[in-house]
Amino acid sequence: MNEEQRRAIEADCERLIKLYVNLNDAQDWDAVAALYTEDARFARPSKPGEFVEGRAAILTSFTARPPRAQRHVISNIVVDVEDADNARGFSVIVLYMGDRPEDGGLPVQDPKSPLIGTYTDRLVRTAEGWRFAERVGGLDFRP
């Protein structure tokens, strides 16, 4: 693999990580789940040792949550390319969340917000493009 190919993989994987938070904030759960492989594993930052396994189960875990106002900010993304079809990712995540008011005004920020943590990812190239094979979150501070 040459330098240009490595950089292209890094860019594709970084885009996947950024797309994930945008779709998550839009609460487009079908699109979020589609970013995982069929046999992927996912652990939320609030429960890093509890894995949800499989794309269908990951989708169910998102749709089971009550809607909330939320905004993720992701930074410090580093992608390490292992080979043409495998990479590892690390990112820092900040989550602002709150309750949606009935009057349609600005949400009221949750007193536990913001949450600050990380994601460690195993990324694989599939026929559909780069996908998460494993996504493990963790919190850096207690709320």
Instruction: Please state the pTM of the whole predicted model.
Output: 0.93
Residue pLDDT, tens place only, 15-53:
999 999 999 999 999 999 999 999 999 999 988 899 999
Residue pLDDT, tens place only, 64-85:
988 889 999 999 999 999 999 9
When pLDDT is cut at 50, 70 and 90, the band that residue 102 belongs to is confident
CATH of domain 3-139: 3.10.450.50
Q: Provide CB contacts within 8 A for 133, sequence distance 6+.
A: 36, 37, 39, 40, 41, 122, 123, 124
pLDDT of residue 106: 87
Rg (CA), the chain: 16
Length of the chain: 143
